[in-house]
Amino acid sequence: MQKWEYWEVVVYFDKQVPFPFIVNGQELRDWKKGPNWFTYRNQLGDQGWELVGFGNGGWVFKRPKP
């Protein structure tokens, strides 16, 4: 049976630009200096993560466990 791992991201809007702010329950250090949400989301896709749900500022991704 296929097993999955999950990645949850909460975004924060700074001057109408979304940034990943909390990842898997942990606030990102220097999140304002990191990539914006659009770049971050594409980076997750490059790592094999697939968006499977969103709501209330949170986005959930999953990928098969190795």
**Alpha carbon distance 21, 58 (integer Å):** 10
pLDDT in tens, the chain (66 residues): 999 999 999 999 989 999 999 999 999 999 989 999 999 999 999 999 999 999 887 899 999 998
pLDDT digits (tens, 9 = 90+) for 17-35: 999 999 999 999 999 899 9
pTM of the predicted model as reported, rounded to 2 decimal places:
0.86
13-31 burial, b for 16+ CB within 10 Å, e for fewer?
eeeeebbbbbeeeeebeeb
8 Å CB contact between 64 and 3? yes
- Residue spans per domain, the chain: 4-64
